[in-house]
């Protein structure tokens, strides 16, 4: 949850500044010089630390022309969630006997029988943990836009799962296509969203569709994904291994997922990098990335942007200053509001194409 607290800190620092200023004024009236001096120092430090990130964020809000709710900022809403048994269905039984499941979130306000678009959501967790139902506010929000959401679980280590995770995601996509008539899903309007490791898997499943190096884990029809929403997802795995913040132990989790370091498994790291699968037929993509991300550095979004530009693929990339990993854990933050506004606009443009 570092991104959540990083987003909360700016206004908390400003609140401390105000409290310190009031205490300092009281101390000054009491002629308590030491307390007055300490409070003055606290005001200077916290105000400078809190104001600069706030100013930078608001400049980006104006640049991106995004409407912002002040109420949502002042009253934080945790983007939590949990698995919901009444929504859960099995999409396959894996060769190792594992039951593969997803949760179905039906769109709101769509007449029965009318074809509707769908979002297949892939959870994060460094390829080693996390589950469907995480960050469930995204599911509700997409439902409100008229999208059915299929929130997917996939197998994780142990054992090594370097092909299984994306294979399971592709299997789930095949299940959605096979059950499109039951859920009245328009198979030409199936998009994907993923955050963190899930962003990597969503990009990878979409970009490598039909690639024998990364087959589905079940019999599944190939599908051309309409578009991809990538929220701070890794795009170059070897680069991530070298540059991620070591305090979060991401390299160790990558080794559990892939089998070892890039020095031993260069082929696997390349194949698991979405940038390795980009061509002129790659689906339109939107990326939202925090510039202060200590887990997935901002360079990951930059290399994706460069590769998509070189291939002539329609894409949008949005960088949010002073924002760490997992910013959307605070559903009302400025960063999450920017992400929602830009994703909504992107989907609207995608629907018109």
Cα→Cα distances 124→55, 86, 146, 206, Å:
30, 22, 24, 16
Pairing relation of β-strands 116-122 and 99-105? unpaired
Largest separation between any pair of C-alpha atoms in the chain: 79
Query: What is the token pair recorded at 292?
Result: 């202060």
Q: 0.75 cut: is pTM over it?
A: yes
Model confidence band, residue 4 (pLDDT cutoffs 50, 70, 90): very low
SS (H, E, C) 316-349: EEEEECCCCCCHHHECCCHHHHHHHHHHHHHHHH
Q: What is the mean pLDDT of residues 159-164?
A: 98
Domains of the chain, by residue range, sit at: 2-65, 85-284
CA distances (Å), origin 24, targets 14, 17, 38, 45, 336: 15, 10, 8, 14, 35
- Residue the block writes with tokens 């540059």: 243
Across 20-46, average pLDDT: 73
Cα separation, 320 vs 318, whole angstroms: 7
Could you give the CA distance from residue 8 to residue 57 in angstroms, rounded to a whole number?
A: 13
What letters, b where the CB count within 10 A reaches 16 and e where it falls short, cover 293-332? bbbbbbebbbbbbebbeeeebebbbbbbbbbbbbbbbbbb
**What topology is assigned to 85-284 in CATH?**
Rossmann fold (3.40.50)
Mean pLDDT of the chain: 90
- DSSP code of residue 283: P
Q: Is 191 helix (H, G, I), strand (E, B) or coil?
A: strand
- Is 60 exceeded by the pLDDT of residue 5? no
pLDDT in tens, 312-336: 999 999 999 989 999 999 999 999 9
């Amino acid at each position: 949850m570092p991104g959540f607290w990083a987003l909360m800190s700016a206004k908390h620092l400003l609140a401390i500044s105000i409290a310190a200023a009031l205490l300092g004024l009281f101390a000054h009236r009491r002629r308590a010089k030491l307390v007055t001096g300490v409070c003055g120092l606290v005001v200077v430090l916290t105000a400078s630390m809190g104001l600069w990130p706030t100013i930078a964020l608001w400049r980006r809000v104006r640049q991106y022309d995004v409407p912002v709710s002040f109420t949502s900022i002042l009253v934080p809403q945790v983007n939590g969630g949990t698995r919901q048994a009444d929504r859960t269905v099995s999409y396959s039984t894996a060769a190792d006997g594992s039951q593969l499941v997803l949760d179905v979130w039906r769109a709101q306000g769509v007449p029965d029988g009318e074809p509707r678009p769908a979002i297949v959501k892939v959870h994060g967790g460094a390829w080693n943990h996390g589950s469907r139902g995480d960050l469930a506010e995204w599911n509700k929000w997409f439902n409100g836009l008229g999208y059915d959401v299929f929130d997917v679980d996939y197998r994780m280590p142990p054992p090594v799962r370097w092909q299984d995770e994306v294979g399971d995601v592709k299997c789930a996509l095949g299940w959605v296509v096979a059950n499109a008539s039951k859920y009245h899903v328009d198979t030409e309007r199936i998009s994907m969203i993923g955050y963190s490791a899930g962003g990597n898997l969503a990009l990878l499943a979409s970009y490598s569709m039909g690639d024998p190096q990364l087959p589905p884990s079940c019999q599944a029809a190939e599908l051309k994904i309409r578009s991809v929403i990538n929220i701070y997802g890794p795009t170059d795995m070897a680069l991530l291994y070298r540059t991620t913040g070591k305090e979060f132990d991401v390299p160790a989790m990558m080794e559990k997922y892939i089998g070892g370091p890039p020095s031993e498994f260069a082929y696997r790291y390349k194949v698991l990098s979405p940038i390795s699968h980009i061509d002129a037929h790659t689906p339109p993509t939107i990326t939202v990335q925090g510039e202060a991300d200590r887990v997935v550095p901002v360079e990951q979004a930059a290399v994706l942007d460069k590769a998509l530009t070189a291939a002539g693929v329609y894409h949008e990339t949005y960088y949010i200053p002073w924002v760490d990993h997992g910013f959307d854990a605070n559903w009302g933050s400025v960063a999450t509001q920017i992400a929602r506004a830009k994703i909504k606009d992107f989907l609207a443009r995608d629907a018109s194409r």
